[in-house]
Amino acid sequence: MNGNPEKSIRVHTISLGCPKNRVDTERLLGALGPAMVAVDTVAEADLALINTCGFIQPATEESIATILDTVREADEAEGKRPLVCVAGCLVSRYGQDLKDGLPEVDLWLNTEEIELWPAMAREALAAQTVEGLPRNLSTAPSYAYLKVSEGCSHNCRFCTIPSIRGPHKSWPVEFLLDEARQLAGQVPEIIVVGQDSTAYGSDLGDGHDLPALLRGLADIPALEWLRIMYLYPAGLTESLLTLLKGTGKPFLPYFDIPLQHAHPDVLGSMGRPFARNPEKVIDRVRSFFPEAALRTTFIVGYPGETDEHFAALMDFVRRTRFHHLGVFPYWAEDGTPAAEMDNQVDDEVKIQRRDALMALQAEISAEIMEGYVGETVDVLIERESDEWPGLYIGRAWFQAPDVDGVTYVSAPPDTRLELGTIVPVDIEKADTYDLSGLV
Q: What is the pLDDT of residues 53-98, one digit of tens each?
A: 988 888 999 999 999 999 999 888 877 788 999 999 999 998 888 8
Q: Which of 240, 144, 146, 250 is nearest to 198 (CA)?
A: 240
Tell me which of 96, 125, 154 is where a domain ends. Answer: 125
Are both 381 and 362 inside the same structural domain?
no
CB 70 within 8 A of CB 87: no
CA 126-130-133 angle, to 5 degrees, is: 125
> What is the identity of the amino acid at 216?
G
Are both 104 and 159 inside the same structural domain?
no
Q: What is the pLDDT of residues 116-129, one digit of tens each?
A: 888 788 777 763 33
Q: How confident is the model at residue 112 (pLDDT cuts 50, 70, 90)?
A: confident
Tell me which of 125, 159, 179 is where a domain ends. Answer: 125
Are both 293 and 247 inside the same structural domain?
yes
**Is 85 known to sit in a ligand binding site?**
no
* Average pLDDT over the chain, rounded to an integer: 89
Structurally, how many domains does the chain consist of? 3
Higher pLDDT, 363 or 388: 363
- The strands making up 36-38's β-sheet, listed across from edge to edge, are 36-38, 9-15, 47-52, 83-88, 107-109
Distance of alpha carbon 327 from alpha carbon 33, whole angstroms: 39
Q: What is the pLDDT of residues 137-196, one digit of tens each?
A: 777 789 999 999 988 888 888 888 888 888 888 988 988 998 999 899 899 999 999 989
Q: What is the CATH number for 254?
A: 3.80.30.20
Higher pLDDT, 24 or 426: 426
Distance of alpha carbon 343 from alpha carbon 354, whole angstroms: 18
Are both 98 and 167 inside the same structural domain?
no
pLDDT given at position 11: 92
Is 36 inside a domain boundary? yes
Are both 381 and 361 inside the same structural domain?
no
> What is the identity of the amino acid at 388?
W
pLDDT given at position 126: 61
Is 328 inside a domain boundary? yes
Is 4 inside a domain boundary? no
Are both 266 and 393 inside the same structural domain?
no
Q: What is the CA radius of gyration of the chain?
A: 22
Are both 242 and 382 inside the same structural domain?
no
Is 135 inside a domain boundary? no
Distance of alpha carbon 354 from alpha carbon 220, whole angstroms: 41
Q: How confident is the model at residue 280 (pLDDT cuts 50, 70, 90)?
A: very high
Is residue 6 predicted with pLDDT exceeding 70? no
Distance of alpha carbon 150 from alpha carbon 20, whole angstroms: 9
CB 171 within 8 A of CB 127: no
Distance of alpha carbon 268 from alpha carbon 156, whole angstroms: 10
Q: Are strands 36-38 and 83-88 parallel, antiparallel or unpaired?
A: unpaired
Q: What is the mean pLDDT of residues 363-388?
A: 95
Higher pLDDT, 35 or 51: 51
Q: Are strands 149-150 and 169-170 parallel, antiparallel or unpaired?
A: antiparallel
Q: What is the CATH number for 115?
A: 3.40.50.12160
Q: What is the mean pLDDT of residues 368-386?
A: 96
Q: What is the mean pLDDT of residues 350-373?
A: 97
Q: What is the pLDDT of residues 206-253, one digit of tens each?
A: 777 899 999 999 999 899 999 999 999 988 999 999 999 998 889 999
Question: Which sign, positive or negative, has the C-alpha torsion 275, 276, 277, 279?
Answer: negative
Tell me which of 323, 355, 370 is where a domain ends. Answer: 370
Question: Worst-scoring range by mean pLDDT, 167-171, 256-260, 271-275, 291-295?
Answer: 271-275
Is 132 inside a domain boundary? no
Residues 6+ apart with CB under 8 A from 100: none
Are both 291 and 393 inside the same structural domain?
no
Are both 362 and 235 inside the same structural domain?
yes
For residues 396-422, one letter each, b for 16 or more C-beta atoms within 10 angstroms of the residue's C-beta and e for the rest, the string is bbbbbbeebbbbbbbbeeeeebeebeb
Q: What is the pLDDT of residues 339-359, one digit of tens each?
A: 999 999 999 999 999 999 999
Q: How confident is the model at residue 7 (pLDDT cuts 50, 70, 90)?
A: low
Is 407 inside a domain boundary? yes
Higher pLDDT, 132 or 329: 329
Higher pLDDT, 104 or 293: 293
Q: What is the CATH number for 431?
A: 2.40.50.140
Question: Which sign, positive or negative, has the C-alpha torsion 135, 138, 141, 145?
Answer: negative
Residue-number span of the structural domain to which 226 is assigned: 143-370
Q: What is the mean pLDDT of residues 279-291?
A: 95
Q: What is the pLDDT of residues 295-328, one digit of tens each?
A: 999 999 999 999 999 999 999 999 999 999 999 9
Bridge partners (DSSP) listed for residue 327: 298
Is 130 inside a domain boundary? no
pLDDT given at position 111: 87
- φ, ψ for residue 29, nearest 5 deg: -65, -40
pLDDT given at position 134: 61
CB 123 within 8 A of CB 106: no
Bridge partners (DSSP) listed for residue 251: 226
**Is 18 known to sit in a ligand binding site?**
yes
Are both 162 and 304 inside the same structural domain?
yes
Distance of alpha carbon 394 from alpha carbon 409, whole angstroms: 7
Are both 288 and 220 inside the same structural domain?
yes
Higher pLDDT, 369 or 7: 369
Are both 402 and 429 inside the same structural domain?
yes
Is 264 inside a domain boundary? yes
